[in-house]
Amino acid sequence: KPISKYSEQEASDTAQKLRKTLNQWGKDYYTKDNPEVEDSVYDAKYRDLQELEAAFPSIVTPDSITQRVGGEVLSGFTKVRHEIPMLSMGDVFSKEELVEFDDRIQKNVGYPVDYNVELKIDGLAISLVYEDGKLVRGSTRGDGNIGEDITKNLQTISSIPQTLTKPVSIEVRGECYMPKQAFADLNKQQEERGEAVFANPRNAAAGSLRQLDTRVTRARKLDTFIYTISTFDDLQVATQHEAIEMLEELGFNTNPTQRVCHNLDEVWQYIDEYQAQRDQLAYGIDGIVLKVNDLDLQGQLGHTVKVPRWEIAYKFPPEEALTVIREIEWTV
Ligand code: NAD
């Protein structure tokens, strides 16, 4: 039934059902690191809920998954409060929606802006806090406000510096991921031992990082790409692009594929390039991220309760769907 034909009561009942399903899937994904369904199935249901709530704003509840960062804190870990919340990210799936995003930004800012475009790494978000250049705390995103203290686990990852090249006090954020080869090796090993295999590298990374025994984390060959400076100390940085260069200078692993795009044609060029190379990359990506490059403008644009207004993810079609499309292309 089209949304326009719903009564308010029907919309409210349907939204409740959708929330229940999404919460259950979210629990399997975020807490057990063992998803029940593919991300594309989750994303489609999430979209249904978003559209319903947009058509009937009165049915929105504060605990709806559209109004909060999905994720929970495991009980075995010390809790960490994020001084600056770790938000989620809006996503789009088509060229038209990307144009709408760009239109919104231009309308808000008053002129066309540059975007820093990055790969969307398929891992989990981490926060690292340094005092006078020394790593003092590392944590997961959790529910966005409260995460898990996983400092000891993160210290086992060789790409995370214990000491920075400058004695700055900063918080940085990025992605912890499991390279494809490490994922294949781990699942092979799990199978040989008769243990459960992981659904995908993202869940394997999350499960490996949230281990009470740090020896398990150490054995899992995790890696990182750091892409955000959330508190700057007195670092002279004006754009997201420069922020990543500064992170590299400080000693972090950063992804070399970032690119400043001056318009959406250049963004599409980037998308085409990386969608074609996706299989050859040593790590999983599920799309690209578009970020307003100017950090002052980012601050001006701000965020909703759940997502920054200055960035958006363009998600690639799921890999299985692509395989089907390719098979069809080959057979006709
Ligand atoms: P998200 O994972 O889609 O996007 C936000 C995250 O992107 C950030 O937290 C960060 O960790 C990551 N990221 C990767 N590269 C980045 C870069 N270059 N710059 C900035 N951030 C980068 O959003 P989310 O709120 O964490 O999770 C929602 C997604 O999780 C859904 O879209 C769905 O695909 C998946 N999910 C799946 C299930 C399931 O059952 N399969 C359940 C719940 C959620």
Return all residues near 50 (Cβ < 8 A) that are at least 6 apart: 66
256 or 322: which leads in pLDDT: 256
The pLDDT, as a whole number, for residue 320 is 58
Which is the closest atom of ligand 1 to the Cα of 175?
A: 11
Same domain, 90 and 145: yes
Pair type for strands 311-315 and 91-92: parallel
3-state secondary structure (DSSP) of residue 34: coil
Same domain, 138 and 247: yes
CATH of the domain at 126: 3.30.470.30
pLDDT tens for 69-109 read: 998 899 899 999 999 999 999 999 999 999 999 999 999 99
Pair type for strands 170-177 and 79-81: unpaired
Same domain, 123 and 42: no
In this structure, the residue with its CA closest to atom 3 of ligand 1 is: 89
Number of domains making up the chain: 2
Same domain, 165 and 254: yes
Same domain, 320 and 185: yes
Q: Tell whether ligand 1 has an atom less than 6 A from the beta carbon of residue 286.
A: no
- Where among 14, 38, 67 does a domain terminate? 67
The pLDDT, as a whole number, for residue 331 is 40
- Short-list 39, 19, 9, CA closest to 318: 39
Q: Are 310 and 297 within 8 A, CB to CB? A: yes
Degrees to nearest 5, angle at CA 49 with 46 and 55: 140
Average pLDDT of the residues in 207-212: 93
Q: Tell whether ligand 1 has an atom less than 6 A from the beta carbon of residue 264.
A: no
Q: Any bridge partners for residue 140, and if so which?
A: 126
**319 pLDDT tier (thresholds 50, 70, 90):** low
In the predicted model, is pLDDT for residue 323 greater than 90? no
Return all residues near 221 (Cβ < 8 A) that are at least 6 apart: 178, 179, 182, 185, 186
Same domain, 39 and 160: no
First to last CA, the chain: 34
Q: Are 180 and 201 within 8 A, CB to CB? A: yes
Average pLDDT of the residues in 289-311: 97
Which is the closest atom of ligand 1 to the Cα of 122?
A: 14
**33 pLDDT tier (thresholds 50, 70, 90):** confident
**32 pLDDT tier (thresholds 50, 70, 90):** confident
Average pLDDT of the residues in 229-242: 93
1 is catalytic: no
% of the chain with per-residue pLDDT over 90: 90
Q: Which of 1-15, 26-40, 168-182, 223-237 has the highest mean pLDDT?
A: 168-182
Return all residues near 241 (Cβ < 8 A) that are at least 6 apart: 116, 258, 260, 293
Whether residue 150 is contained in a domain is answered as yes
- How many whole angstroms separate alpha carbon 111 and alpha carbon 308? 19
Whether residue 216 is contained in a domain is answered as yes
**Average pLDDT of every residue of the chain:** 94
Same domain, 47 and 108: no
Same domain, 107 and 21: no
Same domain, 44 and 186: no
Same domain, 155 and 200: yes
In the predicted model, is pLDDT for residue 48 greater than 70? yes
Which is the closest atom of ligand 1 to the Cα of 255?
A: 18
3-state secondary structure (DSSP) of residue 189: helix
Same domain, 99 and 52: no
Whether residue 78 is contained in a domain is answered as no
Residue 195 DSSP code: P
Residues shown for the chain? 332
- How many whole angstroms separate alpha carbon 231 and alpha carbon 86? 13
- How many whole angstroms separate alpha carbon 330 and alpha carbon 314? 26
- Short-list 206, 211, 244, CA closest to 225: 244
In this structure, the residue with its CA closest to atom 22 of ligand 1 is: 120
Q: Tell whether ligand 1 has an atom less than 6 A from the beta carbon of residue 39.
A: yes
Whether residue 76 is contained in a domain is answered as no
pLDDT tens for 141-182 read: 999 999 999 999 999 999 999 999 999 999 999 999 999 999
3-state secondary structure (DSSP) of residue 311: strand
3-state secondary structure (DSSP) of residue 213: coil
Output the six-digit token pair for 147: 């995460």
Whether residue 77 is contained in a domain is answered as no
Instruction: Tell which one of 21, 42, 92 to mutate to probe ligand 1, the residue whose CB is within 8 A of the most ligand atoms.
Output: 42
**233 pLDDT tier (thresholds 50, 70, 90):** confident
CATH of the domain at 36: 1.10.287.610
Whether residue 73 is contained in a domain is answered as no
Q: Tell whether ligand 1 has an atom less than 6 A from the beta carbon of residue 244.
A: no
- Short-list 243, 101, 119, CA closest to 172: 243
- Where among 15, 36, 67 does a domain terminate? 67
Instruction: Give the range of the structural domain holding residue 8, as residue numbers without chain letter.
Output: 3-67
Q: Tell whether ligand 1 has an atom less than 6 A from the beta carbon of residue 307.
A: no
Q: Tell whether ligand 1 has an atom less than 6 A from the beta carbon of residue 70.
A: yes
Tell how far the Cα of 332 is from the centroid of ligand 1, in angstroms.
35
In the predicted model, is pLDDT for residue 314 greater than 80? yes
In this structure, the residue with its CA closest to atom 26 of ligand 1 is: 88
In the predicted model, is pLDDT for residue 216 greater than 70? yes
pLDDT tens for 263-281 read: 999 999 999 999 999 999 9
Radius of gyration of the chain (CA): 20
Average pLDDT of the residues in 221-250: 96
Tell how far the Cα of 313 is from the centroid of ligand 1, in angstroms.
9
pTM beyond 0.90, yes or no: yes
The single residue listed with the structure tokens 């999430």 is 46
- Catalytic-labelled residue, pool 27, 107, 120, 221: 120
Whether residue 165 is contained in a domain is answered as yes
Same domain, 61 and 91: no
Whether residue 72 is contained in a domain is answered as no
Which is the closest atom of ligand 1 to the Cα of 118?
A: 18
**329 pLDDT tier (thresholds 50, 70, 90):** very low
